[in-house]
Amino acid sequence: MQENGRVYENASRRHYAYPILAYITPWNSRGNELAKRFNSKLTHLSPVWYDLKSDRNGLVLEGRHNADSQWVSDLRKKGNALIVPRFVLEAIPKELLGKKKNRNRAIDLIVTECKEMEYDGIVLESWSRWAAVGVLHDPEMRSMALQFIKELGQALHSTSPERNPDSHLQLIFVIGPPQSSKFQDHDFGPEDLQSLSDAVDGFSLMTYDFSGPHNPGPNAPLRWIQTVLRLLLGGTGDNAKNLSPKIFLGINFYGNDFVLSEGGLIKNTLQSLQSRIFSLM
């Protein structure tokens, strides 16, 4: 482990043709530093900064106090990775999706923030939250959810960053892995992928957390990842080949430590791979 801080190959040259998205999270104290160091290896950087919430007066966008303009400026001096902060939709779903005024307001808040802060687009996280509160079980609300994402994508695509007027703002949408070939209402499936393909520039697929306390095991078995991709893409035909480059396949750099506690309950704690290896040495 004495060599763990060294770079195996040139840190400034890409060896992979497809886009690479990296999240910069507040729980990784070295995230900002590593983003600068490996900027040239990445195409998209997503700092976890924003939340869109409901309040008494409607909708409010929180998170600008998290934004680090100097860090963004430093990044752009070191490479060409696009800055696409993550926006989490915590607003009450039925109020947001069910009222056109609120949908338009949400889109305006997001696009305005991108323009004022000179971002290159956003990563949107909402599907898992909509699924958790049962919104996607209602066919009408599910349709409105997809329509909202399309409208947001169209608004972003019609906006060009000042520093790069020949391009447009990008939308990357976070999606969970389908659980089986028998798709449930809350699953994001191949029809949804096709429906949003023009409005969304990339799909951040959460291929991790395969196991949990009730089903301890590996985080992301390779065969499971392959199955998830086949299910999401709907096979291996031309349509799958056209859409597959838009998938950002999630790769986790952490593990779960499952411990059998009293009473037979299984508890798990999150550990980085490095800290776990050190504990075993």
DSSP letters for 3-43: TTTS-SS-TTS---SS--EEEE-TT-TTHHHHHHHTGGG-S
Confidence category of residue 242, pLDDT binned at 50, 70, 90: confident
Q: Please give the average per-residue pLDDT across 253-278, as a whole number.
A: 60
Confidence category of residue 255, pLDDT binned at 50, 70, 90: confident
Q: Please give the average per-residue pLDDT across 78-92, as a whole number.
A: 94
Question: What does the DSSP 8-state code read for residue 21?
Answer: E
Confidence category of residue 87, pLDDT binned at 50, 70, 90: very high
pLDDT at 261: 66
Confidence category of residue 11, pLDDT binned at 50, 70, 90: confident
pLDDT at 46: 97
Beta strands of 211-250 (E only): which ranges? 247-249
Three-state DSSP class for residue 276 = helix
Three-state DSSP class for residue 73 = helix
Is 65 a residue whose pLDDT tops 50?
A: yes
Structure tokens at 225: 């990842």
Q: Please give the average per-residue pLDDT across 165-170, as a whole number.
A: 92
What's the rounded Cα separation, in Å, for the pair 90 and 110? 13
Is 266 a residue whose pLDDT tops 60?
A: no
**Of the spans 149-153, 164-168, 241-245, which averages the highest pLDDT?**
149-153
Tokens 């950002």 correspond to: 248
pLDDT, averaged across the chain:
87
CATH code assigned to 21-253: 3.20.20.80
Are the C-beta atoms of residues 221 and 177 closer than 8 Å to each other? no
Confidence category of residue 202, pLDDT binned at 50, 70, 90: very high
Q: Give the max Cα distance, the chain.
A: 62
Is 193 a residue whose pLDDT tops 90?
A: yes
Confidence category of residue 161, pLDDT binned at 50, 70, 90: confident
Torsion sign (Cα): 144, 228, 128, 134: positive
What's the rounded Cα separation, in Å, for the pair 190 and 236? 12
Is 264 a residue whose pLDDT tops 60?
A: no
Is 280 a residue whose pLDDT tops 50?
A: no
pLDDT at 271: 55
Are the C-beta atoms of residues 90 and 129 closer than 8 Å to each other? yes
Q: Please give the average per-residue pLDDT across 173-188, as a whole number.
A: 88
What's the rounded Cα separation, in Å, for the pair 11 and 121? 25
What's the rounded Cα separation, in Å, for the pair 177 and 188? 7
Are the C-beta atoms of residues 246 and 200 closer than 8 Å to each other? yes
Are the C-beta atoms of residues 271 and 259 closer than 8 Å to each other? no
Residue 267 contacts by C-beta under 8 Å, 6 or more apart in sequence?
Answer: 213, 258, 259, 261
> Where do the domains of the chain lie?
21-253
pTM: 0.88
Q: Please give the average per-residue pLDDT across 162-168, as a whole number.
A: 86
